[in-house]
Structure 1
Amino acid sequence: MEKTCTLLIHLDKGTPAIANEIKEALDGNDVPAKVDAMTKAIMLLLNGETLPQLFITIVRRNAILAVMSIYKLPQDRAINYLLTHVDRVSDWGELLQMVVLELIHKVCRTNRAEKGKAAANTYCQLLLSQSDNNVKLIVLDRLNDLKSSHRDIMVDLIMDVLSALSSPNLDIRRKTLDIVLDLITPRNINEVALMLKKEVVKTQSGELEKKGEYRQMLIQAIHSCAIKFPEVASTVVHLLMDFLGDSNIASAIVVVFVREIIETNPKLRVSIITTLLDTFYQIRAARVCSCALWIVGEYCLSLSEVESGIATIKQCLGELPFYSVSEEGEGTDASKKTPQANSITVSSRRPAIFPDGVQPSKVEVNKATTQSLLIIVSMLQLGQSPFLPHPIDNDSYDRIVLCIRLLCNTGDDIRKIWLQSCRQSSVKTLSDKQLQETEELKAKAQVSHAQPDDLIDFFHLKSRKGMSQLELEDEVQDDLKHATGEFVNDTDDANKLNRILQLTGFSDPVYAEAYVTVHHYYIVLDITVINRTKETLQNLCLELATMGDLKLVERPQNYTLSPESSKQIKANIKVAVNTVIQDEKEFLEHIIKSTNMKCLTPLSALDDECGFLAANLYAESVFGEDALVNLSVKKQADGKLSGYIRIRSKTQGFALSLGNKITLKQKGSS
């Protein structure tokens, strides 16, 4: 019968003393000593010792070293594992996160493309996850920078960038479209066009009905896509023609896009003409109507198209006469008695197509000419009548009289001008525009930055000998304007006209436009308001809303505008000082400490007893963005401080965040 046998192994465990020796050996650099220490530790663990003081040293540290040794051999597998579990990295321990950073750093150093890909992916994730508009604008700027150095990577992520269109902010949408339009290729044009079409359809919904500016941006983007890639024109042109009757003239500018497409894509001519005639009665804007009439006149080539075009125009004009004088001598507007024609009525009255395709006889031509003359004369009579609030202008009158003369006496030279030269001139204008755009793109691509051997002009190291004080001040101001990107020659009228910003539509009862003037630290809005109605407008208030929580403009005043009169309004943009601090220098030091900015004005040069203080502050964000702050305060009779703080930065987000911080911190302690 077998008996149990016990094997005794002698081990002088010495408890904490041996454990401390093992720990010191494992922490050292002697490899044989480490092996021997690890053997002793295993023997102790097999004999039931817990060794709590050695567990951390043996397992979290050596486990990480083991993982690091493994990933050095199969680096590709480590990268794949990281990409698969990238969402869980934030939950990992600090040591493992350090290993991840080391892996990313190593991969990016050996493969520059991976660095750009990682940056682009991270920016796209931030674009979707962040709700702050300022953060999104900064991310879009970084993506725009990546576009020049890692274009292929950005092309692959074009749909991720397009997802930023879900933001209601127009600046974000505009930046997104600008980036995407430069990344379109034949491989992704269909996806981009489909996405833009979906966004255009969304603008027809009720909640986005007032977003005419966004719709205009989308239409211009689709227009650019169709010009670069004509194969997508057929899929978007008919969708955009639904907006010809839009009351927003900015969106209805799609008619210009239709005019270019019908010339550059002859295969779409028949379908575009058919759609245009069917929707012609919906047009309300004068500019859109004139362009649509030109398209009908130039591109209705077949006999059936010409007759359909004339019938459609007659239906939309209504019955003749447009204006007649009654027996009592009072004028009546006959056109208002005629209901608006619809597309079904227009289609039913279109003449049939001749089966043999021959041209109409001379009698039919004379009949059509007579009808056209009757319509034109009736329009001229209506334009000169006192019934209309605005009589016909001289240019339109001369144009209509010229048409009457041409229809009464047509010669070969005149026919050549009207039937050929006008079309050729339009084609030449279109080709010149495309050539100019191509040249601008080439010039933009060839723009070189400063050469390595260019001289660097340091303003503060210049010699000031022989310069008057006035010349010195002018040079300082010019350098400041160049540095902040605000150098404007106000004497150039053409440049001034280009800087006028339209605030309302041309057809609105009150028209307003603004011109921004930047002088030193002052930003002034010169606003022109025009009353286009026949009535006096009382308590008219122009209110300007700024982004963020800053109150940058003064409280608006009420004005009274007489009929068809105008008013010039000036608005200053500035941040007002609101603080309980009563010492000027103490207030400056409080702003510097609260915002962590640098004071460019020496504190020793500031006089404590003059009651006035002006200083310039400078800040740079972690993203490399610059901001210049001008602080001007003075002490009032009651001891309180008053004045203004002006912030200037090329980046809107940085300026807003800095302004919000100053507004929050400037009050100081009571």
Structure 2
Amino acid sequence: MSVETKQAAYTLVFDPSTGGESYTISELQKALEKGSEDEKVAAMKHILVMMLDGNPLPELLMHIIRFVMPSKNKKLKKLLYFYWEIVPKMDEEGKLRHEMILVCNAIQHDLQHPNEYIRGNTLRFLTKLHEPELLEQMVPSVLACLEYRHAYVRKYAILAVQSIHKVSEHLIPDANEIVYKFLEDELDPICKRNAFIGVAELDRENALKYLEENIVSIEKIDPLLQSVFVEFIRKDANLTPSLKDQYIALLMELLNATTYDDVVLETALALALLTSNSTILNASVSKLTDLADRVSDNNVKLIVLDRVQDINSANPGTLEERTLDILRLLNSEDLDVRSKALDISLDLISSRNAEDVIQLLKKELQITVTNNEKENAMKYRQLLIKAIRSIAIKFSEMAESVISLLLEFIGDLNSVATCGVISFVKDVIEKYPQQRSVILTQLLGALENVKSAKAYRGALWILGEYSESSSEIQASWKHLRTSIGEVPIVQSEMRKLNKNEEENKEESKDETTKSSGPVILPDGTYATESAFGNENVSKKITASEKEERPPLRRFILGGDFYTAAILASTVVKLVLKFDKVSKDKHVMNALKSEGLLILVSIIRAGQSSLVERKIDEDSADRLMTAISILMDENDPNEKPSERSLLELAFIDATRESFKNQLSLSKRANLRRSVKDVVKNADTIETAISFRQFTHSNVGAIEKDTVEEDLNQAIHGDASDFAAKQASSKLKKIVPLTGFSDPVYAEAYITNNQFDVVLEVLLVNQTKDTLKNLHVQFATLGDLKIIDKPPSTNIVPHGFHRITITVKVSSADTGVIFGNIIYDGGHGEDARYVILNDVHIDIMDYIKPSVTSDERFRTMWNEFEWENKISVKSDLPSLHTYLEELTRGTNMGVLTPQESLGEEDCRFLSCNLYAKSSFGEDALANLCIEMDSNTHQVIGYVRIRSKGQGLALSLGDRVALIAKQSNKIKLSRV
């Protein structure tokens, strides 16, 4: 629809035959002429659907006038007025068709009908009529309906008067006086509302006069009239700045007095548009939060919270006082409402209210721990931990108490939440060095309750990086030693197994089973049993015994040797640091020897059958590297340069890398925080507007965001429309048949949000009339044909247009195929023309999006479908390929720009994310390098999604990028 041209909004009619039969013109004429009332109703529905598809059906106009218009059936009469809305009323010369004179007479009779509902329906139809020649004869009847006894008729009559005046002012020249008099005399609230809307549009002075007369009792009048008053004030205040202060005072009075939810919402939004005064904005937001807290509909809560967020974005720093009011919505059971309330509140946190917010979130966190069985309790707990974490990082005085709280509950949290707590501890301990000693002590006390291996690895990194003094290093080492348990691991575990077997044997002496305990030799002595050859050893441990093990021992025997590799790195760091801060050789030698014993014991356990999975090669290499480093520590001939390189690798480099990561995150947060301020800030060159120096008829000085949202919902985005117009329509035309076929067909494809519209042009290229021609379409994929076009006859070299609507339910690749069928000659079979396939471009439904790193990793682990594509491209650089990939797949890059390296880098790895219009998530990981020999971009793109189709479709797009970039260039012929 064009943004410039106003078009009538037609009433949509449900098509009962979704995949059903089609009717010819003669069949429809017969149904209208000789059918029963029900058959006529069905025929009228088919006629309306066919006309809305673009077929005007002029042959049926007289049949409908003769056989449908005289009917008294209410359903048929309602469908008849739908027909009058869309039927062409002008001939080819632009003059009124003669048949419409009969229609005018019928409409006039209905305007005088004794049934008020028929009168009201007819008046409502007149508001959609835009032909002055038709409306001119009906003006007296419409004016007479203004005094009808039923309010149902009067409410549509006043709208009809406004509509007729808009179409042509000379038809009702005194419309403004008529509408104002009607407004003063009317008592029905709906009629008064419609009348005031008309007065506001036709005569602003009369509307202002009526508003002044009702200011005193504005809180007592009907809420419908209050709403239109607010709308008029919002529009008029921007046009007449001299009255703005009075309007704001009036709206504040109405906001405090009204008890109607819809009026509260509209009044608060109007005040937010008209002023930036912090007192008024806080009062408005207070009313909005009360409204959101009071209503039970979660959709209303989300809408109100969106409006509060818009107010905060337009006026940064003015709503701090309302933070706790917004957090009252955490009482809602809906997770989306809670998440929205937390997001808004985090933008309002300051040093004055941070402590109160933390206390409130602590209580909510304790409630989630006690009510763990509730639905979405874990997700809500993660939201609370994330919010507490962001507040504590921003305000250092809160960090210590927050960490103690979170570490206290760490045993009750799930894996994701525990990782979030450990990540938070890492951020705080780096940002606030003065609190490191206290935080390390609290962390060591809570680690025995950690059940997540991923979180424990993060804690090991903290212990290795931030244990600085001798006492801290020894405390950390003591915890590691306790967490490993008795070493060597293999011997101690076998000893426990043998002990359990002996106890079980004594309890079950009467049972003769195969010996699973110690092996007895023929001479009566016990044989030594090795854990390296017994495959059933690990199965003898019960689940309760596994849970009673210390954390590190449990992880290692469970087969998690990546945690063991992190432990080896931590051991090396602690030994290197202790050597720098202490000269006690006895303790140093004890640490080295005990570290060697632990690491060797882990390797031996990884090679035995005690563990659920054998040790992998990478982890074994890292453990052996740590062992060799500890062994070299005893080498007196070690060079200082070797020592400095070792300290650089294990002590300095990792800390520096983490600092850079934090600085990047801090810069990203700063950019997000100032984005709203920059968006609403005025430049230095902006002229200052003095209200006293402006005229009363000055143009609009502020944007009316309510009207902008309404226009965008009706017409769409003007910039998008201009872009669509700028792109040639020829690019969207797909030929369905060849020029040599008897019927040439081409389709113009339009992609909307959830459907695809094919406007098909059919051309008869023969010298014969093609009879009973119809087009059949079918689909492959998540597509559904909505329309089934009727059969038709096409004259020699004639044209025919049909419209096909295809519903799209997912972003998978879809194919539309079909054929054209028409009757053959005398005694010949029907003839077919096969159509070319139409492939639906999924890129119209894929949009780049942003998500957090934690959510990306969670989805990456959850999604089961992966498509791995090899990359081999002749593009000049890795960044060029990344740009081509994002352009071709519509995916957004999640990795920060600073982490992508320089333009001429040799290696590049990043994550990408996109979301479809249907809510489907698409993840991708790009890992490429520049081949030094061939100077080609090589590597892999891994795509993951919940469904197979989306992963395959995006993989095809990646392969298409490679084909386009590797085209053979012809140098000479």
Letter in structure 1 aligned against 2:611: L
Report the Cα offset of residue 179 of structure 1.
0.8
Matches within 5 A, 1:517-556: none
Return the match for 2:601 from 359, 375, 378: 378
CA deviation vs aligned residue, 1:267-319 (integer Å, no higher than 9, x gap):
21111111111112111111111111111112122222211211111112111
| Secondary structure of the corresponding residue to residue 476 of structure 1 | strand
Contact 2:599 2:623 in 1 (8 A): yes
Q: Distance in 2 between matches of 1:103 and 1:500?
A: 37
Secondary structure, counterpart of 1:469 in structure 2: strand
Return the offset for 1:426: 1.9
Aligned-partner Cα distance in 2 for 1:102–1:435: 38
How far is 1:174 from its partner?
0.9
Alignment pair present for 1:144 and 2:309: yes
Instruction: Please tell me the residue identity of whatever aligns with 2:358.
Output: A
Instruction: Give the aligned partner of residue 345 of structure 2.
Output: 180
Tell me if structure 2 keeps the 8 A contact 1:245–1:285.
no
Aligned position for 1:314: 481
Aligned pair partner of 2:439 in 265, 268, 272: 272
Task: Find out whether 1:197 has 2:462 as its counterpart.
Answer: no
Deviation, 1:328, is 2.9
Q: Deviation per CA, 1:587-608, whole angstroms, max 9, x where unpaired?
A: xxxxxxxxxxxxxxxxxxxxxx
Deviates more, 1:269-278 or 1:144-153: 144-153
Q: Cα deviation per residue 1:379-424 (whole Å; 9 max; x = unaligned)?
A: 1111122332222222222211111111111441213322322222
- Within the candidate set 446, 454, 457, 1:287 is matched to 454
In the TM superposition, residue 64 of structure 1 has moved relative to its aligned partner by 8.6
Aligned to 1:415: 647
Question: Which one of 719, 731, 734 corresponds to residue 469 of structure 1?
Answer: 734
Indicate which of 298, 313, 316 corresponds to 2:465.
298
* 8 A contact 1:165–1:176 mirrored in 2: yes
2:449 aligned with 1:217, yes or no?
A: no
The 1-side partners of 2:625 and 2:395 are apart by: 40
Q: Is the 8 A contact 2:326 2:341 kept in 1?
A: yes
**1:218-271 CA-partner distances (Å, limit 9, x unpaired):** 111111112222222122111111243345111102101001101111121111
> C-alpha offsets along residues 607-646 of structure 1, whole Å, 9 cap, x if unaligned?
xxxxxxxxxxxxxxxxxxxxxxxxxxxxxxxxxxxxxxxx
Task: Work out the CA distance in 2 between the residues paired with 1:216 and 1:494.
Answer: 25
The 5 Å alignment of 1:153-552 reads: 153-207=318-372, 211-246=377-412, 248-253=414-419, 254-324=421-491, 327-330=528-531, 340=549, 359-410=582-633, 411-412=642-643, 413-442=645-674, 445-446=677-678, 457=722, 459=724, 464=729, 468-469=733-734, 476-477=750-751, 489=843
Q: 1:171–1:309: structure 2 CA closer, same or farther, 3 Å change rule?
A: same
Could you say what secondary structure the match of 2:333 adopts?
A: coil
After TM superposition, give the deviation of residue 371 of structure 1 in Å. Answer: 0.8
In 2, the alpha carbon distance for the partners of 1:248 and 1:261 equals: 21
Contact 2:289 2:326 in 1 (8 A): yes
Question: What are the residue-to-residue correspondences of 1:554-633 with 2, within 5 Å?
Answer: none
Equivalent pair of 2:302/2:337 in contact (CA under 8 Å): yes
| Most deviating of 368-377 and 414-423 | 414-423
Aligned equivalents of 2:268 and 2:919: distance in 1? 50
Segments of 5+ residues of structure 1 without an aligned counterpart are: 1-62, 69-74, 92-96, 343-356, 528-565, 573-670
3-state SS of paired residue (1:187) = coil
User: 1:477 offset after TM fit, Å?
Assistant: 2.4
SS in 2 for 1:284: coil
2:392 touches 2:399 (CA, 8 Å); kept in 1? yes
**Aligned CA distance change for structure 1 residues 424 and 476 (closer, same or farther; 3 Å):** same
Structure-2 residue corresponding to 1:621: none
Residue type of the partner of 2:460?
A: L
Alpha-carbon distance in 2 for matches of 1:402, 1:103: 67
SS of 2:448's equivalent?
helix
User: What is the alpha-carbon distance in structure 2 between the residues aligned to residue 104 and residue 315 of structure 1?
Assistant: 61
Distance 2:387 2:370 in 1: 20
The one-letter amino acid paired with 1:373 is: L
C-alpha contact 2:289 2:325 (8 A) present in aligned 1:
yes
User: Do 1:298 and 1:423's aligned partners in 2 also have CA atoms closer than 8 Å?
Assistant: yes
Alignment partners' CA distance in 1, 2:215 and 2:651: 84
Distance in 1 of aligned mates of 2:945 and 2:732? 43
1:159–1:192 Cα contact (<8 Å) kept: yes
Q: Distance in 2 between matches of 1:67 and 1:171?
A: 40
Summarize the Cα distance change of 1:501–1:570 in structure 2 as closer, same or farther, 3 Å threshold.
farther
| Cα distance, 1:339–1:132 mapped onto 2, change above 3 Å | closer
* Percentage of matched positions with identical amino acids: 26
Counterpart amino acid of 1:377?
V
CA distance in 2, matches of 1:442, 1:259: 26
Distance 2:859 2:730 in 1: 54
CA distance in 2, matches of 1:459, 1:81: 41
- Listed one character per residue, the Cα deviations across residues 425-452 of structure 1 (whole Å, up to 9, x for unaligned) are 22222222212332344456546999x9
Does the 8 Å contact 1:108/1:114 carry over to 2? no
Q: Does the CA-based 8 Å contact 1:202-1:208 persist in structure 2?
A: no
Amino acid in structure 1 at the alignment position of 2:325: D
Could you tell me whether the CA contact under 8 Å between 2:753 and 2:845 is conserved in 1? no
Q: Deviations over 1:446-475 (max 9, x none)?
A: 46999x998960746976468633699787
2:271·2:284 contact (CA, 8 Å) conserved in 1? Answer: no
The residue aligned with 1:127 is 292
| DSSP 3-state at the match of 1:124 | helix
Distance in 2 between residues matched to 1:496 and 1:65, nearest whole Å: 49
The change in CA–CA distance for 1:159 and 1:455 in structure 2 (over 3 A counts) is: closer
Contact 1:256/1:291 (8 A) holds in 2: yes
Structure possessing the higher relative contact order (Cα contacts under 8 Å, 6 or more residues apart):
2
Distance 1:115 1:389 in 2: 65
SS in structure 1 of the partner of residue 750 of structure 2 = helix
Contact 1:500 1:514 in 2 (8 A): no
Deviates more, 1:252-261 or 1:149-158: 149-158
How far, CA to CA, are the matches of 2:857 and 2:651 in structure 1?
Answer: 40
The question of whether the paired residues in 1 share the 8 Å contact of 2:330 and 2:338 is answered with: yes
Q: How many residues align?
A: 439
Is contact 1:503-1:512 (8 Å) kept?
no
Whole-angstrom distance in 1 between the partners of 2:269 and 2:465:
62
- Mapped contact 1:164–1:172 kept (Cα < 8 A): yes
**Pairs within 5 Å for 1:73-84:** none
SS in 2 for 1:386: coil
CA offset digits 1:120-178 (Å, max 9, x no partner) = 23211111111111111111111111112234442221111111111121111111111
SS in 1 for 2:418: coil
Deviation per residue, 1:74-118 (Å, 9 max, x gap): x99x989997x9887559xxxxx9xxx999999996886666445
Distance 2:250 2:321 in 1: 19
Separation of aligned partners in 2, 1:470 and 1:216: 53
